[in-house]
Structure 1
């Protein structure tokens, strides 16, 4: 059984389009601060594996604006709730107008998989955690707990990335959620797409498709 750490029923439904025997797990793992999605999802996968005791899948996703060094990226949820989606769109379009460029962006999703075992070399990244940080913490206390070793790098985590590219536009559409109304792909914002259309180009779906191929062999 593969345990998908989420409380979002939509994510589970999407995962089941690619995978058999997926079970949702409600687990509040630590969301570390990082400028990249990978370390955040990997840390969560280690904690979830220690909690569940079996194969786990954790995802993290965000909107990455070109011209803003990837902002808001891993901080997308926080920025959505503080700055607001429309304001993010305004900033992106304003910056693009000043440089006479198209306000391009991408949605990116990273899936982190951990089952307590190592991984053979493949094109997909493997996160081994911050082993040095673990050793320093152990030295300071004179010992290291089992949970410390689990989340700090003793367990490798396989990472799978999915991306969908588009551009930032004035808000359009009544569907979707979050940044969907300002993100246009192939002439439609994600908020204008049906669920089937959106799932067909989903960044999470693309990551799931790659993971499913790996998992079938695993």
Structure 2
């Protein structure tokens, strides 16, 4: 079975392919039109992207919307995680903005979670939704060299996502949890 992933982020595609590989499900990308993320939740934005990708390609489409929710910032950056420091900001600029806003906030008040909502939309209109959450906190400075986005400042235990190997990250991450749930649901659907 072939699915298209609604993303321009090669890192998200690699995570999805790693976890779905045992199911022999082919996941590809396509030259898709950008979808405006007008939803107020991660799940709404994932659905908007999956629906548009399915309509554009005629294939079952998978989309993820995820972000960092920081308690001391009343849930920010939340659904605006990718656009937090402006639409063309780099990962480093987004992290700098977040760390600046948390300046003076002690470690015990830097609790946060990464949330990943994944939606699959099929050409017949059927829809499947899963969500994964990883609790952690925000570090005082970036650490590690792997990962992307906010990975260098998101702590799970003593390590940031960026200090974990891909396998370690997949085992604990919000997206890893959501993708394992998705894999189980797809396995039921396809009888693999």
Task: Indicate the TM-score class for this superposition, using the shorter chain for normalisation.
Answer: 0.7 to 0.9
- TM-score in terms of structure 1 length: 0.73
Whether 1:205 and 2:179 are equivalent positions in the alignment is: no
In structure 2, stretches of 5+ residues that fail to align are none
Counterpart among 103, 115, 119 of residue 108 in structure 1 = 115
User: 113, 135, 138: which one pairs with 1:165?
Assistant: 135
Please, which moves more after superposition, 41-50 or 82-91? Answer: 82-91
The 2-side partners of 1:162 and 1:26 are apart by 27
Alignment of 1:94-133 (within 5 A): 94=104, 96-97=105-106, 101-117=108-124
Cα distance in structure 2, aligned partners of 1:111 and 1:189: 23
Residue 73 of structure 2 aligns to a residue whose secondary structure is coil
Structure 1 window deviating more from structure 2 (71-80 vs 81-90): it is 81-90
The residue matched to 1:70 in structure 2 has which SS? coil
User: Which of 73, 78, 86 lines up with 2:96 in the alignment?
Assistant: 86
The 3 A distance-change label for structure 1 pair 175 and 15 is closer
| Cα gap change, 1:93 to 1:169, in 2 (>3 Å) | farther
- 2:81 is matched with 76
Distance verdict in 2 for CA 1:49–1:84, change over 3 Å: closer
Deviation at 1:168, TM superposition (A): 0.9
* Cα distance between partner residues in 1 of 2:71 and 2:186: 32
Give the superposition deviation at 1:49. Answer: 1.1
Q: Is the 8 A contact 2:169 2:176 kept in 1?
A: no
Residues in 1 aligned to 2:149 and 2:18: alpha-carbon distance in whole angstroms = 23
Q: CA RMSD in A?
A: 2.2
Deviation at 1:170, TM superposition (A): 1.4
The equivalent of 1:45 in structure 2 is 50
Contact 1:29/1:47, CA 8 A, preserved across alignment? no
- Structure 1 residues 46 and 84: alpha-carbon distance in aligned structure 2, compared to 1, 3 A threshold: closer
Deviation at 1:156, TM superposition (A): 5.3
Post-superposition offset of 1:62: 0.7
Distance in 1, matches of 2:149 and 2:12, equals: 15
Give TM-score, length-normalised by structure 2. Answer: 0.82
Tell me if structure 1 keeps the 8 A contact 2:137–2:156. yes
